A and B are shown apart, each in its own frame.
Chain A
Amino acid sequence: MIYAEHLRKEFKKTVKDPGLKGSFKALFNPKKEIVVAADDITFHVPEGEILGFIGPNGAGKSTVIKMLTGILTPTSGECRINGKIPTNDRKKYVKEIGAVFGQRTQLWWDLPLQETYHVLKEIYEVDDYKFKKRMDFLNEVLELEKFIKSPVRTLSLGQRMRADIAASMLHSPKVLFLDEPTIGLDVVVKDNIRQAIMKINKEEKTTVVLTTHDISDIELLCDRIVMIDKGKNVYDGSLHKLRENYGQTRELVFETDNSSKLTEEQFRKGLNLKKSDLVVEREQNSFKVKFNSKKIPVGEMLGYTLSLTKVKDISVKDADIEEIIRSLYRQGGASDE
């Protein structure tokens, strides 16, 4: 369905030295700098899948989405969606897709929402019957009724986002590109939007590519994730596998009276572990041991700790996906230095 092959996008940026002198210099002799926003990004998405496209700020997610939607022309590489190259016949191509860019609206600022949908109906040539059915569905899931008569510029962020999501789904697109569709929303609205995405994916086998910084979006919606960092592919696979591959980290929390005697140093020496395999965080009456369960089994760690100190209570935590992603982002950042 979606094929992104070796996508690369360079931006030219004029850099200027600080101050007035810098501005003056830039005016006559602009220094150009090339920013590589996407560098050899490759991934495929089969029909009907919801793909989580994630990465830290500035990773190049939005840039890739813009290339996939035909807004930007790749510097090199190619993407093919539904057999079409987006920039080749933009007008035809965009008819089959829907897109939401969370930071901005694609609705007419001054038109009442309802009229906006009628406009979109004409533009996308949706017939009356389908339109009515669709609006009923969207109304129900996204609860648009309360503000459907208001001009778009008067909507709150959450209302506007719902309105935008509805607009992107109106013409039953085959593919949906959602760039941070839940940015800045409260729990209820987030849930509304997730419901809408889930339903449309189930009922119409709509393929969805979704970028987000909200891990629950991914856990609830995505079959698979593609992670990029600094414009490069970092990970491609299911959440489950991510957990298996990187999720060896376990967390043991011990409640004690006198935790102060135990140090990270002590643990590491006693168990002969490297710094990256073990972290101890201490609080007033408890301490937390995070460790790599491949290097030392949970039972052994428990035994060792209990042999050192008196413990009131113990809890074990599985590696959660957020922690894994955080450590992956951090690794990506560290490998650069």
Chain B
Amino acid sequence: MSKILKRYVPFMQAGVQSLIIYRMNFIGFVIGGLIYCFVMFYLWKAVFESSGGGEFFGFSMADMVVYLFLSNTTTQLTYSSVSTTIGEEIRDGSISMRLLKPVNTDLSYMFSELGEVMIKVAVLLLPIIIGLEIYRFRTTGVIMFNAVNFILYLLSVVLAYIISFRVNLCFGFIAFYVKNLWGINILKNSLIGFLSGSLIPLAFMPSTLRVCLEYMPFASMAYTPVMIYMGKYEVNEMLFRLGLQAVWAVLLYGFSKLIWLGAIKKLSVQGG
């Protein structure tokens, strides 16, 4: 295990290294996310006020704030740019360099991203959690932080990341067939934004649509962890949701492996 890790950790280091070099991108990404959260915050505030305060589909305004900030943060944590990366590497042919290394292609992509994820946990997730708990304490007067929920949230985020990574990997492999992924990526990102509930909580959607979406892997990518953190699930339901995530993770893992086998035969490295 440590031997395997040793072989992939360099990919992580390289990822972190380039993150540091292009840190303005990263900072911009984080700040953009926060601005988006505040915009959404004022939007929902208006909605809540116009509906006469109180609760909205079982969400209080305080809940809504937690949901907004945490789902945005979670989306950023589980965000995987692997489909863009693969698209780029195919377009400029540098994917051949990855194929020449005696490593698992998908794991090497994953580790390249993991460094970034860890940095996001440190500089984004922890401050947001602390900020949210202070906010909740000030509005309700009680400490609402629940350590068990937090740990389960982290577990759910790990599963969510695996799902997100695998979904993006599958999308990335489409580049083996169409060569230019740009349009497909935009479509995918907005689709995932809607389907994962990071745009509008799934709880607010018509019930049939909601049930459908809740069973899809996209819901697991942000909605499930956040709902777990907020303690919106009973124990049974929570176990079911985590189990569903695990099932999706395994299914998507197998599916991406399968696509890979077909895609690699189609690869036509461009240039040189």
Contact = CB atoms under 8 A, between A and B. Distances in A.
Contact of A11 (B14, B18, B268): B268
Interface in B1-58: 3, 6-7, 9-10, 13-14, 17-18, 21
B96 interface: yes
A15 interface: no
Given A94-B100, A111-B14, A103 B271 contact: yes
Interface string A85-124: 0010011101100010111111011110001001100111
A66 interface: yes
A73 B272 contact: no
A229 interface: no
A206 to B, nearest CB: 17
Interface in B77-108: 93-94, 96-97, 99-104
A62 to B, nearest CB: 6
Contacts, number: 76
Contacts of A103: 271-272
Chain A's interface size range is 20 to 34
B267 interface: yes
Nearest to B20: A110
Interface string B261-272: 000110111011
Interface residues of B, number: 27
A71 B98 CA distance: 9
Interface in B216-262: none
Nearest to A9: B268
A70 interface: yes
A72 B267 contact: yes
Chain B CB count within 10 A is highest, among A91, A110, A119, A124, for A110
A110 B268 CA distance: 26
Contact of A110 (B21, B269, B272): B21
A11 B269 CA distance: 10
B101 to A, nearest CB: 6
A38 B264 CA distance: 19
A101 B265 CA distance: 21
Interface string A117-139: 01100111100000000000000
28 contacts: A12-B268, A66-B269, A69-B100, A70-B100, A71-B99, A72-B269, A73-B265, A73-B267, A91-B102, A91-B103, A94-B100, A101-B272, A102-B272, A103-B272, A104-B96, A104-B97, A106-B97, A106-B101, A108-B17, A110-B18, A111-B13, A115-B13, A119-B10, A122-B7, A122-B10, A123-B10, A123-B102, A124-B102
A-B pairs, 3 with minimum CB distance: A119-B10, A95-B102, A103-B272
